[in-house]
Amino acid sequence: MNKTVNQKAWFLVLPVLVLVAFSAIIPLMTVVNYSVQDSFGNNEFFWAGLEWFDEMLHSERMWNALGRQIAFSAIILAIEIPLGIFVALNMPKSGVWASFCLVLMSLPLLIPWNVVGTIWQIFGRVDIGLLGYTLDAVGIEYNYTQDFFAAWATVIVMDVWHWTSLVALLAYAGLQSIPDAYYQAAKIDQASRWAVFRYIELPKMAGVLMIAILLRFMDSFMIYTEPFVVTGGGPGNSTTFLSIDLVKMALGQFDLGPAAAFSIMYYLVILLVSWVFYTVMTNLDKRDGV
Amino acid sequence: MTDATAAPGAATIPGDLTASRPRAATRRRFRPNGSAVVIALYLLFLMLPLYWLLNMSLKTNAEILGSFTLFPRNLTFENYATILTDPSWYSGYVNSLIYVTLNVAITLTVALPAAYAFSRYSFMGDKHLFFWLLTNRMAPPAVFALPFFQLYSSVNLFDTHIAVALAHCLFNVPLAVWILEGFMRGVPKEIDETAYIDGYSFPRFFVKIFMPLIASGIGVAAFFAFMFSWVELLLSRTLTAVDAKPIAATMTRTVGASGVDWGVLAAAGVLTIVPGALVIWFVRNYIAKGFALGRV
């Protein structure tokens, strides 16, 4: 749609601008403020320049947390995106069953995040949880508070449980928008199931899949509550992701300077990756939107 | 995909070519096939942990800890009674519902005109502004927790519902603008022009004509605002102490001196799922489109 140039439209945007600026810019400036100052308590601050940034860049703790974070995001994206597409391809196309599936699948998305954590914490316990008890009964050593591998497996399965539906719903929405004519043409050409997927369904889903990847990347990169409830970041530091580490530093130890420097770099990483996705997405929009 | 799963593939193609067959009949009959098995397994995976929570909430603590049972032997509603009669428990639900409602109201009020502006007009800096809004959806709440605490304390809003509602606007407003803009784009511009020619003023046109046209979009945006405000814990916990404490934060209380009260914890968990489930039911036909942010 070609839009009219109208500078007065700014007035319509103004309320959003004011509101978001209040909630975003002021706190962000506070963070910037902390990141360049040092304090000995008593609310006395003095200029520290880029010292904290330098310290954080050489801090093994932050690099380790970042490494774990990237590993986590990569693993859950690698599982959730294909699984979500696969589920969407198999969903009923219309009728009562489709609504039924949609409602049940959306359910995990609307559970408060710490309740998600609690559910899996209980579910995985060897004494009272179905999963833990079953694994224990068949003789698999499983203890998510002690064992590195079990902790990671639990956190990842939990995230897959929690968010795969989002990918599936998005992919499903993409599939629904494909006109019948495409499939009829494919059938006339005797295209294989794979060819239909590869040359019709996948390209048509590209836009929504981009949104899915963007949302999943952002949210998994900020994940805090769920792993915190289940493992508390342990055993040791093995599931301490960036947000968990940050909250520990800022609110637990009250190391404001380093935590603020950490925050800013963290935010910049997310911003950078999201910008790449966003650019790709708007380009896709433009291609399809004509 | 292997050939084995591809074999029944013809039946899984949407808008199947078997259109000559009476469609209603095929739809109503439930045919067990590969797809149904996949979906059934997936739904089973989703439902098992939830079932376990429900199961535990209906047991006594003695049964939870004493024996391993797949369904409650001594069905009890004691745990739910505890929550619904104790003010320190149910006030958590009331608090959560208050700030979520406030948040949805604020979000829609400011997002509707802005989304209209983005979908209809181009103005100086519009693209940058749109991306800047989105970046706030990407801001990690952990980064903002402490500054928010200080900001809202300094304006005397700490531990009020409005503080949480405003804080949640940080990520809900950008999302709502994004969703609504997607839906508004689908409304032809000719409608606006016709209305102006007919002598409608902008506010009257917007409320009387435009909003009914994107009613489903408004519903979806409200649903998402509800959802993200309802599930968020980090900010709502940081910004409240007693008077506006959300239910999710109250739940951590069950870890008492005598160990964890598992039954009550599970019951509280089940009750947090109920509002979400109710809301889903109302928007079920638009969920898919909504998750695609109106861009399908």
Q: Are B161 and B98 in contact (CB under 8 A)?
A: yes
Q: Yes or no: say if B55 and B269 are a contact pair by the CB < 8 Å rule.
A: no
B109 pLDDT band, cuts 50/70/90, is very high
Could you tell me which residue, A197 or B288, shows the higher pLDDT? A197
Is B231's pLDDT higher than 70? yes
What confidence category does residue A159 fall into, taking pLDDT thresholds of 50, 70 and 90? very high
Q: What is the mean pLDDT of chain A?
A: 83
DSSP states of B211-272: HHHTHHHHHHHHHHHHHHHHH--HHHHHT-SSTT--HHHHGGGGEETTEE-HHHHHHHHHHH
> What is the arithmetic mean of pLDDT over A125-148?
81
Q: Do B123 and A174 touch (CB under 8 A)?
A: no
pTM to 2 decimals? 0.81
pLDDT tens across A2-14, in order?
677 878 788 888 8
Which of these, B289, B117, B42, B128, lies nearest to A207 by C-alpha position?
A: B289
Q: Are A72 and B23 in contact (CB under 8 A)?
A: no
Interface touch A102/B287, C-beta < 8 Å: yes
Task: Give the per-residue pLDDT at B17.
Answer: 45
A142 in contact with chain B, both atoms CB, cutoff 8 A: no
Q: Nearest-CA distance from B167 to chain A in Å?
A: 6
Per the CB < 8 A criterion, the answer to whether A217 and A73 are in contact is yes
Using alpha carbons only, give the angle A188, A194, A197 rounded to the nearest 5 degrees: 85
- Pick from A75-84, A170-179, B7-16, B72-81: least confident: B7-16
Q: Give, in order, the Cα–Cα distances in Å from B264 to each of B230, B231, B247, B254.
A: 20, 20, 13, 8
Domains by residue range for chain A, with CATH? 62-289 (1.10.3720.10)
What is the 8-class DSSP label of residue A222? T
- Asked if residue B11 has pLDDT above 50, the reply is no
Separation of alpha carbons A12 and B154, rounded Å? 29
Please report the pLDDT score of residue B32 as a whole number: 57
Name the nearest CA neighbour of B274 among B105, B93, B95, B98: B93
Q: Which of A121-135, A145-159, B3-17, B85-99 has the lowest mean pLDDT?
A: B3-17
Residue in the block written with tokens 């940080």: B170
Question: Other C-beta atoms within 10 Å of A229: how many?
Answer: 21
User: What is the pLDDT, as a whole number, of residue A42?
Assistant: 58
pLDDT tier for residue A64 given thresholds of 50, 70 and 90: confident
Residue A32 has pLDDT above 70, yes or no: yes
| Residue, of A94 and B129, whose pLDDT is higher | B129
Tell me the β-bridge partners of B255: B260
B121-122/A4-5 β-pairing: parallel
Q: Is B296 strand, coil or helix? A: coil
Q: Which of residues 28-57 of B touch A (CB under 8 A)?
A: 28, 30, 34-36, 38-39, 42-43, 45-50, 52-53, 56
Higher pLDDT, B293 or B250: B250
Residue A84 has pLDDT above 90, yes or no: yes
Give the residue with greater pLDDT, A75 vs A259. Answer: A75
CA dihedral A72, A101, A85, A195 (to 10 degrees): 170
Whether residue B105 is predicted with pLDDT greater than 90 in this model: the reply is: yes
Cross-chain CB nearest to B39 (options A4, A101, A270):
A101
From chain A, the residues in CB contact with B119 under 8 A are 1
Give chain B's mean pLDDT.
79
Q: What average pLDDT does the segment B56-77 reach? A: 80
Q: What is the complex's ipTM, to 2 decimals? A: 0.82
Looking at A258-267, B157-166, B280-289, which range is the least confident one?
B280-289
Is B72 exposed, middle or buried (CB count within 10 Å of its CB: 0-12, 13-18, 19+)? middle
Which is higher by pLDDT, B109 or A138? B109
CA-based nearest distance A95→chain B, Å: 7
At B13 the pLDDT is: 47
Residue B140: which of A15, A196, A222 has the nearest Cβ? A222
- Percentage of chain A modeled with pLDDT above 70: 94
Mean pLDDT of B223-250: 84
> Band of the pLDDT at B114, cuts 50, 70, 90?
very high
Please state the separation of Cα A170 from the chain's center in Å: 15
Q: Residue B112 — pLDDT band, cuts 50, 70, 90?
A: very high
**CB of A144 less than 8 A from some CB of B:** no
* pLDDT at residue B122 in the model: 85
In this predicted structure, the answer to whether residue B257 has a pLDDT above a threshold of 80 is no
Supply φ then ψ for residue A38, to 5 degrees. -125, 155
Residue B111 has pLDDT above 90, yes or no: yes
Domains annotated on chain B, with CATH: 3-76 (no CATH), 86-291 (1.10.3720.10)
Q: Which pLDDT score, from 0 to 100, does residue B259 have?
A: 63
What is d(CA A105, CA A101) in angstroms, rounded to the nearest whole number?
A: 6
Distances (CA, A) of B283 to A7, A84, A87, A143, A197: 35, 21, 21, 40, 29
**Average pLDDT for residues B105-118, to the nearest whole number?**
92
pLDDT for position B289: 63
| Mean pLDDT, residues B190-202 | 88
